[in-house]
Structure 1
C-alpha cells in the first residue's frame, strides 16, 4: 500500500479546492425579472437574392438593438446600432438600411422638444465601404440595381405641402441627382424609368415627372397648380397613372381627374400617348361624387382597366351652421351604433366605393355602393364578386356575416345573383374565373363564364367541415389550400390532408395520399415564392407538417400520385422558411421550450441546417426547465392535451407547486420558447427556473357553457398531473388574462382545489358585458358573447338563467380561494367595471380579494414600469400562497392611495 506524503496530501486538498471553486463558478442561477433586460429578440432578417448574405438584428428588452450584416458562410462584416428596414439590391452588390439614434440620444432630443430622424447607410458588399445620408425617411432600389432613390424628411414637418428632398443616386458611377419637393416616387419594374410627384409650397412646379435612367433625361408628363396622388405603374412598367385635382371653395372633397400615359419606354424622345378622364365629361358618373385620392389606383393585367375609389362630395360646415348642443343620437334603426361610428369616424372620412374605368371606351362602372359595400375583383379577368347584405345588416338576432353574393361584370356593369344568405365567402381564383363559398361544410364553386355553381367537395366523397370549430355559428371548412397553375384544379384542406378537386371533371385526388389522416399529421401547402399565386402540380410541392399529438413540426415534399417524403420533421417548432430569390437557400427558425428561435440556413432539402444566429448565449448561465406532454380526458369525454413545464432541478417523484396558465387550446405551444419579456403574463421559463411546474391545458367548449367547459378541462388537466405524481395538490395556482381571466374568475367560484388565483382583465358579468361596447372597435359586445368567443348561443333575454349561471359574479358567494385581480382603467376590450364588479361583490362577501388597478392602461399593460410592477406582484402572490414565502405589505394591509408612490411591491411585511 502506497504511503500518502504530506506534500501529496496538500496537493489533493488544493486540487479539491480548485474543483469546488470551478463548480461554484459554473452553478446556474434562477431567472429573475432583473435578468430580463439582456434577452434579445431577432428582427430585420433578410437573405440576399444570391443566398450568400444575411442580415438580422438583436433587439434586447433594455437598450439599443444591433443590426448584423454577415456572410452566411463567413463572419459578420458590419454592425449598426438600431438599424432597420434592410433591403438588398437585386444584383447582390448593395445593402441599404435606416439607422435610428441611440436610445439615450433619442431621449435627449425628446426632452429638448426636437424630432428624431433616421439616417440611411448604403453598404457596398464587395468593398465593405459605407456611405451615409442624413435625415432619411425611405429608400428604394431599382430592379436593375443601377439606382437607389432616397427620400428625406421635410425640413418643416408642419408645412402644408407634402414634398421633401429626394436623392436619386447612380450605383454605377456614384453620381447623384437632387430633386426637391417630392411627395411620391417609384421605379418601373424593369428599373429603366423613374417617376415622381412634386408637391411644393404654393403648388409651384407641382406635377408628374419621369426620368429616363438610360440618359438621365427628365420629362414633365403632367404639371399644373393641382395636388397629385396615387401614382402607379402597370406591371410591365410602360404605363403610368395618377390622380390630379383641386378642392373648390366650400367643398370638402378634392375634384380629381384621372390621367394615364402609355408607351413609356427607355430611350424614346418624347412621351405623347396621354389620356385623361374627367367626371365632368361623363354623364354616367354619379352626381355629387368624386374620384377619391383616398383609394389607390390599380391596373388590370391587360392594362385595359383602372380601378379606383369614389365617394360623395360634401359641403363644408360653416361655423355659424354648427349645432351648439353636443349630442349623439343613438337610434334603434342605426345600422352602425353610434359608438362604432365614433371609432370609425376617421376611416369614414376616407372610405370609398370601388369603381372601374374601361380605358378603351372610357366606360365608368361603380361596383360598390351602399347596398353592395364589398366587392372583390381580379386583375386577370372581367369578373368580380359582390356582397349585398341589406337583408341581414339590421337583423340583430343573427351573426353579422351573412350576405347575398353576386357576379359583377366589370366591362358592362351587369350584376347577377349567385346565391343568397352565405356566411363563409372563400374568395376568387387567381385567374378570376371562379369564386368560392361554403355552406354546411361543403365548398361550392361558381364559374363566372358559365354561370354555373358546382359542389366541389362532393367529388371527393369526404367531409371537409371543421367539426372542431366550437363557436355557435355555421361551421366552416378547413379552407382553400390554393389553385393549380394550369387553372384546372382547386386545392382544398381537409383536417390533415390536402385534396385536388378537378374544375373540369368529377375527379378528385388526395395529394397527400391519406398519410395525414393515417398519422394525424396536419399537412398544408407552402409557397416559397411570395409573388406566386398558384401551384405547379407537375413539380414537387412543399408541405408544412404538424403532428396533432406529437407536436412535431417541419416540412415534407410531395409529388402528385406519391406519398409525402419528410425533408425535416423534428420534435421542435420549425418556422416558415424564407427563400433567397435567385438561389436554393432557405432561412428559417427552430425552437423548443429550451432553445430560442434562432435562425438556420439550408438548401431546399432542409438537410444539414447551419445555425446562423445566437441571440441569447447568456441563457447558459441560468436554470431552465423542460416540457413534457400530458394526455388527459375531460369529464365530457373529450381527448385533450396539456404542455407541462418541469422545474429546472426536477427530481422524479417529488411533488412541486404548480401554476396553470390557459386561454383556449394551448398544447400547440409545447415547443414554443418562453421568452423573458416585460408584459402582464407569467413566463414559464421564469417560474420553472424558480422551482415551479407550469401547466398549459387545452380547453374546448360546449355551446352555452363557456365557464363550465373551462372548469371541466382545467380541473381535469390538474387532476391528471396530480395523478402522474408531478404536482402538490395543495399548492396549485391559476392565472388567466382576458378570456382566460373570465375562465379563471369562473373557476374560483366553483372549486376550492386551487390555492390562489390571479385573474387579469376578466369578464365577470356576462349580462352587463353583453350590453356595453367593446371600446376599441365601438361594437356592442352582444355578438361576441352570443356567437363568437362567448359561445353562449342565445341572448340574455332568451335565457337569463343561463347567463347568470355562466357569470362568475353570480357565484361570488361560493369563493373560498384568495384571488388577485388585474385591470387597466383604459381597457378597450374588457371594461374596467367588469373587474370592479367582481372586486366589489367579493369584498362585500368578505372574500380575500385584491385588485391591482393601473390608471390609463389598456387591455394589456403597455408601460414598462407597470409591466415590471405586476410581474413582481404576481410572483410574490404565488410565492406566498404556493411556496409559503412571507407576504409583502401590499398583500397583508393594502397601500393607502396617498402612499402609492412611496411603497413598492418589494416592501415586505414589517419593513415600512
Structure 2
C-alpha cells in the first residue's frame, strides 16, 4: 500500500516535472530591442605559434569587452576587461596585450578632460604570472622571444619633440633597459639587433642608435641636432636606413639626407661604416626636389636599392602675404574639381613621388612625376611599372581608370611602353620578371628582360572575364589566385576552378581538375602563412570551397595533378582559417542563420573540430527562425535565388507577413548569422523572432535600367514566395538602404504589390544627383551613375528620358503605397536633399509619406540613441501596415519640431 502510494506520488511528480519542462520549453520569448544589449561579437582572435593557446574577446553591444586567454584543450587561464592588441611571443611562452579603461571610467576621464591611457599586461603562460606597465602606447616582441620593447606615451603630447620612454625588457634575465625620448624603434628580422631613433627636447641627444641584444652594447650610428625619420630594416635584417635633416624656417619641407649602412650583425667585431647620401652633393638630383621625411623608405631584397619619397620644395608664405579673400576657383580645365581637391588637401600635402637610389653606383633615379604619378617597384628585380593617365583623366566622357603602362629600369631610368589604355593592371610577379594586366577577359604578360608582350591565357581556350560583372565597363577577371614558389607559374582563378599557367613554357593545367565547374563549387586558394608571397606546388594546398547554388561551404585539399578532396563541406558558412605558425593546429568559425560564428579548433585535416567559444548562450532563451533557399526566374529569364527567413514556430498551414530586404546579390548571405545590433537596417533574426518572413533576393542589372531591373527581380522573387504558400500577399513590405534605398524608392513608384515601403538614404533623382558631389570623396556623382553602381552607361545629356524613367522622383505620381524615408542630414554618400526631393514630390502629390530626418548623422546612423530610435520606429511602421497594429502618434499626426524632444516613438496618441 505504501509502495503504491509512493509510486503514484512519484508518477505525479514525473508528470508535473514533464509539464514544467514542456512549459519551460515554451517560454522562449520573441526578441526585442531591449534584448540586443546581451549579444556579443568576437574580436582579438589569435592562436599561439605552438597552437596550444588562443585569445578572443567577447564584445557586447553595451558594456565592456572581455579578453579571454585560453588553452585550446583546456579552460580559460585569464580574462581582462577591455584587453586589445594581443600578441604571442614566438616561443609561445608569453602573451601581451593592452588594457583600456572601462566605459564608465572613460566617461569620467572625458568629463575631466584627462587623457585616456592604456596599460600593458604581460602574462607568462607557463607560470600564470602577470606583470603590468602603465601608460603604454605600444609594444613588440623580438623574434627570439627574449626581448619585448614597450613604448610609453609621451609625458606631454603637445611637445615639439616626439620621443617617449621605451622599456627594453629581457624576459630571460628579468633585466630592463629604460631608453628615453624614443620616437621610433624596431627589431631586425632575426631579433638579434634593436634600432631606435631619439627625438628629444631641443634636439638634445638626437640620433640613430643600435643595440646588440646579445651584449646589450649600444652603437650610436649617427647623432646630431637633426630630426630622424623613416628608420627601416631590410628584410634580411643586416642593413639599416633612415632619413635625417633640419627644418629651415623659410622652407615648407625639411631638407633631408639619407643614412644607410650594411653588414650589421650580432657580435660585430668590425667598425660600422656609415654611408650618407646628400641631394646637395648630387648634380643629378633635380631642383627644387627634396627628400621628404613622410615618404616611405624601402629596401629591395638584394639590399642594393633604397626607394624614398621626393617632392618639390616650397618657400613658406608669410601670413601677411596670404590672400585675405577666401575663394575657390572652379575652372573647367580642372582635372580634379575643387571639392575633390578640398577632400584630398591633407593627402596632397603629404603626397610624394617615388625615387630610387642605386647604392652601388650612387645613382639617383626619379620614378614618379606629375605625368607618371603611380609606379609599382619590384623588390626582387631592377624593374618597375609606371602608369600614365594624362590622355584619359581629362576626358570627362570616358570611364575612369584607364592608363598607359610603361616598364622602367630602376638602374638606368629607361622607360618603354608596355600597353595603351589599360583598365585592369594586375601588378608584378613576385620574382620581378613579369608585369601583368587583363584585357577583354585575357591575362596579358609583359616580360621585362626581352620586352615581349604575350597572351598568357590564350592557350587555355577559356575567357577569364567575370561573367557576372554587370557594370557597363570592361569586365575584370576573377583575379590572381597566387604564384608558384619560383615565380615562374601563375595561378589564375576562373569562376569555379583554378588554372596553372607557366610563364616560360606553353604548359597549362587545371589545378582543381574541373571539379569546381562540374559541381558548381567555387574554389579559391587559402594562404595559411601571412608572410608568404607564393605557394609550393609540390605540396598539398588548402582550398576554400563555396557551393554556388547550394550555399554550402568548407575546405578541400588539392595536390597538383590530383582531384581536390573534401576535408569539411557543410550547409554552413565557414570562416577564415587561422593556423598556428609552428604546428597544424587551426582555429576557424562556422555559422548559420541560427548559429553564431563561434570559434572552433582542429588540425588541417579538420578532424574532430571542437568548439572553443560560446559568445551568446542567451540565444537559447529566445525564439529564432530558420532559412530556406528559394529558386526563381525573373521576367528576363535569369535563374536566380533568394534566401527566406522563416518565423520562429513556423506553421506551413499559415501565411505570414513578409519584409523584402535587398541590395544586389543577397542569396550568398543564406548562412550568415543575423546579429542583433544597433544600426539602421532590419535584423532578420529579430523580425523572424516576431512572426515575420524576411526575403532577401538576388538582383542582376541591365545597362541603363537599374530601377527596372530591381523591380523585375524583387517582384519575381516575391511572387514565387507567395506561390509557394509562405507569404500573406496583402501584408508584404520592402526595406532597402543606400543603393537598396534607391531600388525600394523606385519600386514603390511602379507597383502596388507591397503594403508599405521603408527606404533609407535613398538616391531618388538621377538627374539632379548626376551633377552634385559625393561629399565623402569630393568627386562628382556622374561617373558613379554612368560607369559604376548606377550602370546607366550614358549621361543625362545623351538620354535625359532614360534618366527620368529610372528616377523615383520623376515617377512619384504613380505611388499608391504609404512609405517611410530615413535620411541623415550629414550623409556624405547620398545627399540629404535626395530624400527631401522624394518627400517633397510625394507630399505635393498627396501621397502618404514620412521623412525621418536625423540631424548631423552620416550615411549610416552613428549615434546609438538614434539607431535605437529608428529600430523602434521602423518596427512600429511595419507592424502597423503588415500586422495591423495601432499606429503611434508620430505616424498618425506627426510631431511638431518644438515637441520632438518631448514625445517619444512609444506614444500611441495624444495624452498617453
Q: Is the shorter-chain TM-score for this pair beyond 0.5, marking a shared fold? A: yes
SS in 1 for 2:869: helix
Structure 2 residue aligned with 1:144: 144
C-alpha contact (below 8 Å) 1:221/1:271 kept by paired residues: no
C-alpha contact (below 8 Å) 2:431/2:486 kept by paired residues: no
C-alpha contact (below 8 Å) 2:204/2:225 kept by paired residues: yes
Residues 55-86 of structure 1: CA deviation (Å, up to 9, x unaligned): 00100001000000011111101000000000
For residues 16 and 816 of structure 2, what CA distance do their matches in structure 1 show? 53
Structure 2 residue aligned with 1:216: 216
C-alpha contact (below 8 Å) 1:247/1:255 kept by paired residues: yes
SS in 2 for 1:232: strand
For residues 588 and 158 of structure 1, what CA distance do their matches in structure 2 show? 44
For residues 572 and 271 of structure 1, what CA distance do their matches in structure 2 show? 61
Are 1:53 and 2:39 an aligned pair? no
For residues 5 and 527 of structure 1, what CA distance do their matches in structure 2 show? 70
C-alpha contact (below 8 Å) 1:263/1:271 kept by paired residues: no
1:652 is displaced (CA, Å) by 1.0
For residues 639 and 352 of structure 2, what CA distance do their matches in structure 1 show? 49
Residues 741-769 of structure 1: CA deviation (Å, up to 9, x unaligned): 00000000000100010000000000111
Structure 1 residue aligned with 2:23: 24
- Structure 1 pair 140/730, CA: closer, same or farther in 2 (3 Å)? same
For residues 10 and 219 of structure 2, what CA distance do their matches in structure 1 show? 88
For residues 761 and 610 of structure 2, what CA distance do their matches in structure 1 show? 43
Structure 2 residue aligned with 1:421: 421
Structure 2 residue aligned with 1:554: 554
Tell me the TM-score normalized by structure 1: 0.99
Are 1:384 and 2:389 an aligned pair? no
C-alpha contact (below 8 Å) 2:64/2:103 kept by paired residues: yes
Structure 2 residue aligned with 1:715: 715
Residues 406-441 of structure 1: CA deviation (Å, up to 9, x unaligned): 000000000000111111111110111111111111
For residues 157-168 of structure 1, what are the structure 2 equivalents within 5 Å? Answer: 157-168=157-168
For residues 75 and 589 of structure 1, what CA distance do their matches in structure 2 show? 19
Structure 2 residue aligned with 1:870: 870
Between stretches 13-22 and 597-606, larger displacement belongs to 13-22
Structure 1 residue aligned with 2:258: 258
Residues 455-496 of structure 1: CA deviation (Å, up to 9, x unaligned): 011110112111211001011111111111123311111111
For residues 181-220 of structure 1, what are the structure 2 equivalents within 5 Å? Answer: 181-220=181-220
1:6 is displaced (CA, Å) by 9.5
For residues 271 and 795 of structure 1, what CA distance do their matches in structure 2 show? 68
For residues 430 and 267 of structure 2, what CA distance do their matches in structure 1 show? 35
Structure 2 residue aligned with 1:614: 614
Structure 1 residue aligned with 2:234: 234
Q: For structure 2, which runs of at least 5 residues remain unmatched after alignment?
A: none
Structure 2 residue aligned with 1:487: 487
Structure 2 residue aligned with 1:836: 836
1:3 is displaced (CA, Å) by 15
Residues 331-384 of structure 1: CA deviation (Å, up to 9, x unaligned): 111111100100000101100001100011110011011011111111000001
For residues 536 and 837 of structure 1, what CA distance do their matches in structure 2 show? 58
1:504 is displaced (CA, Å) by 1.8
For residues 23 and 908 of structure 1, what CA distance do their matches in structure 2 show? 36
Residues 250-271 of structure 1: CA deviation (Å, up to 9, x unaligned): 1110100000121211122464
Between stretches 465-474 and 751-760, larger displacement belongs to 465-474
- Structure 1 pair 4/801, CA: closer, same or farther in 2 (3 Å)? farther
For residues 219 and 903 of structure 1, what CA distance do their matches in structure 2 show? 70
For residues 907 and 160 of structure 1, what CA distance do their matches in structure 2 show? 56
SS in 1 for 2:295: coil
C-alpha contact (below 8 Å) 2:767/2:803 kept by paired residues: yes
For residues 610 and 618 of structure 1, what CA distance do their matches in structure 2 show? 20
SS in 2 for 1:648: coil
Structure 2 residue aligned with 1:90: 90
C-alpha contact (below 8 Å) 2:264/2:272 kept by paired residues: no
For residues 648 and 464 of structure 1, what CA distance do their matches in structure 2 show? 44
Structure 1 residue aligned with 2:435: 435
For residues 528 and 507 of structure 1, what CA distance do their matches in structure 2 show? 27
C-alpha contact (below 8 Å) 2:555/2:569 kept by paired residues: yes
Structure 1 residue aligned with 2:349: 349
1:507 is displaced (CA, Å) by 2.0
C-alpha contact (below 8 Å) 1:485/1:537 kept by paired residues: yes
Structure 2 residue aligned with 1:300: 300
1:612 is displaced (CA, Å) by 0.7
C-alpha contact (below 8 Å) 1:886/1:909 kept by paired residues: no
For residues 204 and 4 of structure 1, what CA distance do their matches in structure 2 show? 96
For residues 679-698 of structure 1, what are the structure 2 equivalents within 5 Å? Answer: 679-698=679-698
Structure 2 residue aligned with 1:640: 640
**Number of equivalenced pairs:** 911
SS in 1 for 2:51: coil
Structure 2 residue aligned with 1:244: 244
Structure 2 residue aligned with 1:525: 525
C-alpha contact (below 8 Å) 2:375/2:385 kept by paired residues: yes
C-alpha contact (below 8 Å) 1:256/1:292 kept by paired residues: yes
1:319 is displaced (CA, Å) by 1.2
Between stretches 793-802 and 105-114, larger displacement belongs to 105-114
C-alpha contact (below 8 Å) 1:246/1:256 kept by paired residues: yes
For residues 15 and 437 of structure 1, what CA distance do their matches in structure 2 show? 74
Structure 1 residue aligned with 2:77: 77
- Structure 1 pair 884/4, CA: closer, same or farther in 2 (3 Å)? farther
For residues 841 and 444 of structure 2, what CA distance do their matches in structure 1 show? 52
For residues 718 and 857 of structure 1, what CA distance do their matches in structure 2 show? 33
1:526 is displaced (CA, Å) by 1.1
1:9 is displaced (CA, Å) by 7.6
Residues 213-270 of structure 1: CA deviation (Å, up to 9, x unaligned): 1111111110111110100111121111000001112111010000012121112246
SS in 2 for 1:718: helix
For residues 672-821 of structure 1, what are the structure 2 equivalents within 5 Å? Answer: 672-821=672-821
1:911 is displaced (CA, Å) by 4.3
Are 1:328 and 2:333 an aligned pair? no
For residues 800 and 413 of structure 2, what CA distance do their matches in structure 1 show? 49
1:316 is displaced (CA, Å) by 1.1
Tell me the TM-score normalized by structure 2: 0.99
1:560 is displaced (CA, Å) by 1.4
C-alpha contact (below 8 Å) 2:585/2:604 kept by paired residues: yes
For residues 741 and 824 of structure 2, what CA distance do their matches in structure 1 show? 13
Are 1:461 and 2:472 an aligned pair? no
Residues 832-864 of structure 1: CA deviation (Å, up to 9, x unaligned): 000000000000111000000000000000000
SS in 2 for 1:536: coil
Between stretches 189-198 and 743-752, larger displacement belongs to 189-198
Structure 1 residue aligned with 2:364: 364
TM superposition outliers: structure 1 runs of 4+ over 6 Å: 2-14
SS in 2 for 1:77: strand
SS in 2 for 1:716: helix
For residues 12 and 889 of structure 1, what CA distance do their matches in structure 2 show? 55
SS in 2 for 1:392: helix
C-alpha contact (below 8 Å) 1:264/1:271 kept by paired residues: no
Residues 856-896 of structure 1: CA deviation (Å, up to 9, x unaligned): 00000000000000000000000000001110000001000
For residues 263 and 163 of structure 1, what CA distance do their matches in structure 2 show? 28
SS in 2 for 1:79: strand
For residues 186 and 347 of structure 1, what CA distance do their matches in structure 2 show? 26
RMSD of the TM alignment (CA)? 1.4
Q: For structure 1, which runs of at least 5 residues remain unmatched after alignment?
A: none
SS in 1 for 2:904: coil
Residues 622-670 of structure 1: CA deviation (Å, up to 9, x unaligned): 0000000000000000010000000011011310000011000000000
Are 1:34 and 2:34 an aligned pair? yes
Residues 281-308 of structure 1: CA deviation (Å, up to 9, x unaligned): 1111110111111112110000000011
1:23 is displaced (CA, Å) by 3.4
SS in 1 for 2:710: helix
C-alpha contact (below 8 Å) 1:459/1:501 kept by paired residues: no
- Structure 1 pair 330/132, CA: closer, same or farther in 2 (3 Å)? same
Structure 2 residue aligned with 1:591: 591
C-alpha contact (below 8 Å) 2:492/2:499 kept by paired residues: yes
For residues 125 and 10 of structure 1, what CA distance do their matches in structure 2 show? 55
